[in-house]
Structure 1
Amino acid sequence: MRHRAVTAVLAAAALLLTAGCSSDDGGSPDTSGSASPSDTAARSSSPGPTAQETPPAKGSVKVVRTVATGLSTPWGLAPLPGGDLLVSSRDEATITRVDAKTGEKTELGEVPGVSPSGEGGLLGIALSPEYASDHMIYAYFTSASDNRVVRLIHDEEKPVGERLGAPDTVFRGIPKGVVHNGGRIAFGPDRMLYVGTGESGDTGLSQDKESLGGKILRLTPEGEPAPGNPFPDSPVYSYGHRNVQGLAWDGRQRLFASEFGQNTWDELNAIKPGDNYGWPEAEGRSGEGGFHDPIDQWSTDEASPSGIAHAEGSIWMAGLRGERLWRIPLKGTEASADPQAFLKGEFGRLRTVVPAGDDRLWLVTSNTDGRGDPQDGDDRILELRVS
């Protein structure tokens, strides 16, 4: 277990006094202390009916091993076809290959044009659906002027440190800020590119369907609005979001997204094309017509969620400020039982969780991001077995 000093407790108390908090984990963007998770969940859940195909109400998590240590500000994770892992560094703007068996790290290179600041930098990464033939890595990053998506060729024949080709900009113009830069990208079952964005601290952008901020975007691999999007000639897939950093699909190709709240409720949402998820008029469940209420909600000190993954009939949600991994069992697009928290405080801040096949997950910590309490070995990638 990670032991917190008294000063960390005082820092956490100071965070609670910060009105209108705007960071990616509910705290002041300038603090380096990690907020202490509370012992009692202050959230509202909506357990649904059970069915034979519904996962058990109670699950389990076992840490199988530590895959790699010594990572600096890791953010995105992309498993390669052969089993190794690619991880992005937010502040160093590098992509590193990790041998999934030995943990050996090989830097592929630095992504040019990245302007790290606050919560911005090199964020999510994803492999092209045609990676076996085109060797393309997609990356979301903060530049000097905006947030954008680029693609780079991964050339394994080149010398170490030079294996990334020049970036080809696929999509640009996403609003940037010191906070709320979104950053998660993922190719869906339809082979389209989904992009989670933040409102960059300008809450009015979320309800503006002409803005790219506070949205989930759906693009072709070339960066055009994807066919079948809900708004004509628009990349916008859903709107009314505050800061989306988690995207995952279940076995029936239904999309789920995690979202940072401000002072009250973090959210897990089932995404329906064209729907309005309420921010800034609604935070958490509102019951108001016109807004899509979340599947479940958490107080910001218990979650502040970033990445999510679907495995074993549940959504698994990594918590930054909450320093825990949440399991949300599903029946369809509803929670079938109360969420469970695992690994509470054991590894500090949790940033990214990715399926690793069958009942396994990759989990990335985030203690070197300026808000954590780094310990020896941080940051790290863990392999989990879940049920």
Structure 2
Amino acid sequence: MALAPDGRIFFTERPGTLRVFEEGELRKNPLLELPAPFFSEGEGGLLGFALDPDFENNGFAYAYHSYRRDSGGVENRVLRLSISGSKAEIDKVLLDGIPGDTNHNGGRIKFGPDGYLYITTGERYEPELAQDQESLGGKILRISKEGTIPADNPFPDSPVYSWGHRNPQGLAWQPESGALYSSEHGQSSHDEINLIEAGGNYGWPLIEGDEAGTGSVEKMKLPLLHSGEETWAPSGMAFITQGPWSGGLLVANLAGQQLLHISPGTGNKKPSAEALFHEKWGRIRNVAEGPDGTLYVMTNNRDGRGHPGAADDQLIALKPNWK
């Protein structure tokens, strides 16, 4: 989901529709329904969405989706969309050839404070892709909003920003420092919250959790926090700037069925995590903060792994009561 300056809330549905809330009401008809060769199966489909930093003036937005190649395989790509009135149209393909499958597609896209578009990708159950710098799988990518590669990317002529990831699904920048954090699905457990550095190798599949390696593996990055033997299945995330959780990082948990409130830690204070709203709404896909402090929570109980109720899935607005 993405919150527009004029109050609209845009969101994607995995089967291929882009929809919008206006003045608290869901517009009946989608703005866009992706055409063939769009692919929606398992964890594939229409996934991440972001608005251009200059959306008010240019109407551009960006989407990440899976599709089936003519040869039968699955890949992911990033589109630029043009939104005007009640419709959205595909303007251009920004980035193609991202490995895909029914699972481990990554799919989060967000603009950083530097104005570049960051993209999380999974390794489609081929762990070796995460350690292959020539592959776009198992990475965090960074491109311009025109699709070009920034000159200061860590690897020449490559969109790869960090590597060694399994299936990252969250991105958030700490407002004060501009530091980038990401959430990542571990293998049945050892889910990670990582502090991302340009060019950093985050270890998958050679290490996970807080495992330490030897030789070249020793230089790989360890997570800020991990779930140990528990399973969070962390997805979307947002730093909170208002109210009692100000300065904290909220992370949507799917299998964990909660919001994880993380204090990143400063100085001698170690990072910590606590569960919020545990099992209240089921699987949680995303969280965002509105300009007035409202928290928007997106459930994902109809993804084939949850137990949906009659009202699922939902976009829940938690209004602040601390003002």
TM-score normalized with structure 1 length: 0.75
Matched letter for residue 253 of structure 1: G
Mark the CA change 1:331 to 1:209 in structure 2 (over 3 Å): closer, same or farther.
Answer: same
Shift of the alpha carbon at 1:225? 1.5
Match of 2:22, as an amino acid? D
Change (3 A) 1:345 1:208: same
Whether the 8 Å CA contact 2:234–2:252 is kept in 1: the answer is: yes
* Range that drifts further, 186-195 or 302-311: 302-311
> Conserved in 1, the CA contact under 8 Å of 2:79 and 2:90?
no
Where 1:205 maps in the other structure, the secondary structure is helix
Shift of 1:348: 0.3
Change over 3 Å in CA distance of 1:267–1:385 after alignment to 2: farther
Of 226, 234, 240, which residue of structure 1 is paired with 2:164? 240
2:31 pairs, out of 105, 108, 117, with 108
Partner of 1:325: 259
Q: Kindly state the Cα deviation for residue 260 of structure 1 after the two structures are TM-superposed.
A: 0.2
Could you tell me the percent identity over the aligned residues?
Answer: 40
1:263 aligned to 2:156?
Answer: no
Q: Which residue of 1 aligns with 2:296?
A: 362
Asked if structure 1 preserves the Cα contact closer than 8 Å seen for 2:189 and 2:231, the reply is no
- State which drifts further: 363-372 or 300-309: 300-309
**What is the Cα deviation at residue 264 of structure 1?**
3.0
Shift of 1:358: 5.3
Q: Secondary structure at the match of 2:295?
A: strand
- 1:223 deviates by 1.3
Answering whether residue 66 of structure 2 is matched by residue 142 of structure 1, we say: yes
What corresponds to 1:305 in structure 2? 234
Aligned length: 305
Matched with 1:164 is 88
Partner amino acid, structure 2, of 1:265: H
1:153 aligned partner? 82
Partner of 1:202: 126
TM-score by length of 2: 0.90
Q: Which has the higher contact order (CA 8 A, sep 6+)?
A: 1
Structure 1 residue 300 displacement after superposition: 6.6
8 Å Cα contact 1:309-1:316 kept in structure 2: yes
Structure 2 unaligned blocks of 5 or more: 70-74, 241-245
Residue 315 of structure 1 pairs with residue 238 of structure 2:
no
Q: Deviations over 1:141-168 (max 9, x none)?
A: 0011310000111110xxx5xx111341
- Please tell me whether residue 184 in structure 1 is matched to residue 103 in structure 2: no
Task: Give, in whole Å, the separation in 2 of the partners of 1:148 and 1:250.
Answer: 27
1:247/1:257 contact within 8 Å kept: yes
Residue number in structure 1 paired with 2:243: none
Deviation at 1:108, TM superposition (A): 0.9
Considering only aligned residues, what root-mean-square deviation do their CA atoms show, in Å? 1.9
Corresponding residue number in structure 2 for 1:340 = 274
Letter of the structure 1 residue corresponding to residue 219 of structure 2 = G
Instruction: Indicate the larger mover: 81-90 or 325-334.
Output: 325-334
User: Any conservation in 1 of the 2:188–2:231 contact (CA below 8 Å)?
Assistant: no
Q: Is the 8 A contact 2:48 2:65 kept in 1?
A: yes
Q: Matches of 2:302 and 2:91 in 1, distance apart?
A: 26
Shift of 1:171: 0.5
Residue 313 of structure 2 aligns to a residue whose secondary structure is: coil
Secondary structure of the equivalent of 1:309? strand
AA of the residue aligned to 2:53: P
Which stretch shows the higher mean deviation, 98-107 or 270-279? 98-107
Question: For the Cα contact (< 8 Å) 2:18–2:32, is it kept in 1?
Answer: yes
